[in-house]
C-alpha cells in the first residue's frame, strides 16, 4: 500500500480506523484555493478522521509591530490584516484610541464610517462568495462575484480616495466628506446589486448541483457554535442571533438594523446568510445617507491645529492631518472594543502607558476564532466535502495569522 501513495501523502498508524492505518494528506499552501495555509487531513479511506489547519505561512506580527509605531501610523498597518475589509478591521482600534484621548467623533463622521463599513461588508461577502464558487468548480459565480465587487470598490474609492486600504476613520472623525456624486452612484449600485442577487439565487444558491454539494454538509448546531466561540455569518447561520452591530457602535444604534439569522447551520445556510446580508447592508447604507446629519467631519480639538496653509481643504470636505497628530499622547489605561466585520466579530484590547505608541495591543480576528471549524465540521465527511465546507466558512488565512 505504501508504494501506491503519491508525494504529499503518507500512511501512518493513527488510531481511528479498523486496521489502524490512516492516510495523511497535505492540502496547500497555495492561492487562491487554500490561501496562505496548509490543511493536514487524516483519511480513513476517503472519510475524514481529522483536519489540522496549519496557519503559519504569513507571520505578520501585527500586534508586536503596533507597539513600535505612533497611534495614527498603526491604522494603516492594521488594515492589512484583512485588506478586503479595511474599515471594519480598523474602526474598533480607532474607537479604542478615541476613548483614551477623550474625544467623540462628530455625528456626521459616525454615519460616514457606517456607510464605508457596509460597503466593505458587501465587498467582503462578494469576495467570499466568489472564492466559495471556485472551490465548487463554479467559475461563473467566481467571475460574477468578483466583477460585481468592483462596483462597491468604486463606491469606496469615491468616498475615501482609495480602492482597498482607505485609512478613512481617524481619531476624531474621518478624512473626507461624502462627495455629491456618491448618492447617485450608490442608487445605481443598489438597483444593480438587488437584480444580481436574484441572478445569484438562480445561478448558484438554487442550482441543484450546488445544493447537492452544500445541503446537509458541515452542520453546526447552535449550542456547539456558542461553545466553540464561532462568530459572524457562521454563527448566525446556526440560528444564534448575535451581531456586534447590535451593540450600537458608530451609527448602528440610530439605524433600523436586524441581523440575518438562519436555521439549518449547514454549508448551504452559511452561503444564504451572506447573500441576504448584502441586502441588509444596501438598506443600511441607504438609511445612513437619508439620515446623514449636517456638520463637521473632524473633532474641533484637532481641526484648530490644522496649519492655515492647508485649511482651505476643509471647505472641500477633506482633512489634512496636522503634524502634531502623529505625536498624540493618550491617557494611561486599558480599553476593550469590538466591531462586526464581514467575517465576524473582531475585538481589540489596547493598553496605554501614556506615551505616543500603544504599550500593548491584542487583536482577535473572526477567522482566528472560526479556524476551529475546519476540524469540527469535516470529521465524518468525505474528502470531496472539504472544499464545500471550506468555501462556506469564508475563512481568510492572513487574518488568522496576524
Write out the three cell numbers for 139: 467559475
Over residues 346-350, the mean pLDDT reads 97
**Smallest Cα–Cα separation from 370: which of 82, 153, 134?**
82
Average pLDDT of the chain is: 91
- The reported pLDDT for the residue numbered 310 is 83
- The reported pLDDT for the residue numbered 35 is 63
Phi-psi region of 154 (alpha: psi -120 to 50; beta: other; left: phi over 0): alpha
Angle in degrees, CA 66, 69, 70, rounded to 5: 115
Handedness of CA 101, 105, 109, 111 (dihedral sign): positive
**Dist. CA 225–CA 377, nearest whole Å:** 11
Is there a contact between 385 and 355 (Cβ–Cβ < 8 Å)?
no
- The reported pLDDT for the residue numbered 55 is 85
Tell me, rounded to whole angstroms, the distance of Cα 201 from its chain centroid. 23
Residue 318's DSSP bridge partners are 176
Q: Which fold has domain 62-400?
A: Cytochrome-c3 Hydrogenase; chain B (1.10.645)
- The reported pLDDT for the residue numbered 1 is 37
Q: Is the pLDDT of residue 82 over 80?
A: yes
Is there a contact between 260 and 239 (Cβ–Cβ < 8 Å)?
no
- The reported pLDDT for the residue numbered 77 is 93
Residue with the larger pLDDT of the pair 21 and 359? 359
Over residues 111-133, the mean pLDDT reads 96
**Smallest Cα–Cα separation from 354: which of 336, 326, 334?**
334
Is there a contact between 298 and 311 (Cβ–Cβ < 8 Å)?
no
Q: Is the pLDDT of residue 303 over 90?
A: no
**Dist. CA 266–CA 216, nearest whole Å:** 5
Residue 333's DSSP bridge partners are 352
Write out the three cell numbers for 175: 478624512
Name the pLDDT band for 22 (thresholds 50, 70, 90). Answer: confident
pLDDT digits (tens, 9 = 90+) for 216-273: 999 999 999 999 999 999 999 999 999 999 999 999 999 999 999 999 999 999 999 9
Name the pLDDT band for 56 (thresholds 50, 70, 90). Answer: confident
- The reported pLDDT for the residue numbered 11 is 52
Write out the three cell numbers for 116: 464605508
Q: What strands, in cross-sheet order, belong to the sheet with 333-340?
A: 333-340, 345-352, 360-364
Cis, peptide link before residue 170, omega less than 30° from 0: no
Angle in degrees, CA 129, 134, 138, rounded to 5: 95
Q: Is the pLDDT of residue 356 over 90?
A: yes
Domain ranges of the chain: 2-54, 62-400
Is there a contact between 184 and 155 (Cβ–Cβ < 8 Å)?
no
State the residue for C-alpha cell 484583512.
Answer: 82
Residue with the larger pLDDT of the pair 226 and 6? 226
Name the pLDDT band for 16 (thresholds 50, 70, 90). Answer: very low
Q: Is the pLDDT of residue 6 over 80?
A: no
**Dist. CA 298–CA 317, nearest whole Å:** 10
Residue with the larger pLDDT of the pair 274 and 313? 274
DSSP codes, 263-314: SS-SHHHHHHHHHHHHHHHHHHHHHHHHTPPPS-SB-HHHHTTS-GGGTHHH
Write out the three cell numbers for 314: 476643509
Q: Taking each helix axis from N to C terminus, what angle separates 107-135 and 86-101, rounded to the nearest 10 degrees?
A: 150
Write out the three cell numbers for 115: 456607510
**Dist. CA 217–CA 135, nearest whole Å:** 14
pTM for the full model? 0.92
Amino acid at each position: 500500500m505504501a508504494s501506491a501513495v503519491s508525494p504529499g501523502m503518507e500512511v501512518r498508524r493513527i488510531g481511528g480506523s479498523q486496521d489502524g492505518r490512516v492516510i495523511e494528506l497535505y492540502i496547500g499552501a497555495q492561492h487562491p484555493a487554500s490561501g496562505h495555509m496548509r490543511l493536514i487531513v487524516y483519511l480513513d479511506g476517503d472519510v475524514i478522521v481529522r483536519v489540522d489547519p496549519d496557519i503559519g505561512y504569513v507571520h505578520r506580527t501585527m500586534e508586536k509591530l503596533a507597539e513600535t509605531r505612533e497611534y495614527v501610523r498603526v491604522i494603516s498597518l492594521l488594515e492589512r490584516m484583512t485588506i478586503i475589509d479595511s474599515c471594519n478591521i480598523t474602526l474598533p482600534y480607532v474607537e479604542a484610541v478615541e476613548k483614551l484621548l477623550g474625544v467623540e467623533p462628530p455625528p456626521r463622521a459616525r454615519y460616514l464610517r457606517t456607510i464605508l463599513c457596509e460597503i466593505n461588508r458587501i465587498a467582503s461577502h462578494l469576495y467570499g462568495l466568489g472564492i466559495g464558487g471556485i472551490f465548487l468548480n463554479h467559475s461563473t459565480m467566481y467571475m460574477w462575484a468578483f466583477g460585481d465587487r468592483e462596483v462597491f470598490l468604486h463606491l469606496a474609492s469615491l468616498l475615501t480616495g482609495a480602492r482597498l486600504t482607505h485609512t478613512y476613520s481617524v481619531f476624531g472623525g474621518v478624512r473626507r466628506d461624502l462627495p455629491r456624486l456618491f448618492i447617485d452612484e450608490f442608487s445605481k449600485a443598489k438597483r444593480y446589486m438587488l437584480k444580481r442577487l436574484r441572478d445569484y439565487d438562480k445561478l448558484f444558491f438554487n442550482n441543484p448541483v450546488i445544493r447537492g454539494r452544500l445541503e446537509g454538509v458541515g452542520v453546526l448546531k447552535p449550542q456547539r457554535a456558542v461553545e466553540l466561540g464561532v462568530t459572524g455569518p457562521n454563527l448566525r447561520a446556526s440560528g444564534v442571533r448575535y451581531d456586534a452591530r447590535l451593540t450600537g457602535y458608530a451609527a448602528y444604534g440610530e439605524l433600523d438594523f436586524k441581523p440575518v439569522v438562519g436555521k439549518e447551520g449547514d454549508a448551504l445556510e452559511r452561503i444564504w446568510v451572506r447573500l441576504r446580508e448584502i441586502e441588509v447592508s444596501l438598506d443600511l447604507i441607504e438609511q445612513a445617507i437619508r439620515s446623514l446629519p449636517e456638520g463637521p467631519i473632524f473633532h474641533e480639538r484637532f481641526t484648530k491645529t490644522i496649519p492655515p496653509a492647508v485649511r482651505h481643504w476643509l471647505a472641500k470636505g477633506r482633512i489634512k492631518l496636522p503634524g502634531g497628530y502623529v505625536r498624540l499622547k493618550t491617557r494611561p489605561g486599558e480599553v476593550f472594543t469590538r466591531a462586526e466585520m464581514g467575517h465576524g466579530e473582531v475585538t481589540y484590547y489596547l493598553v496605554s502607558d501614556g506615551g505616543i505608541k500603544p504599550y500593548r495591543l491584542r487583536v482577535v480576528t473572526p477567522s482566528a476564532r472560526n479556524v476551529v471549524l475546519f476540524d469540527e465540521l469535516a470529521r465524518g465527511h468525505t474528502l470531496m466535502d472539504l472544499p464545500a465546507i471550506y468555501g462556506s466558512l469564508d475563512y481568510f488565512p492572513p487574518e488568522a495569522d496576524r
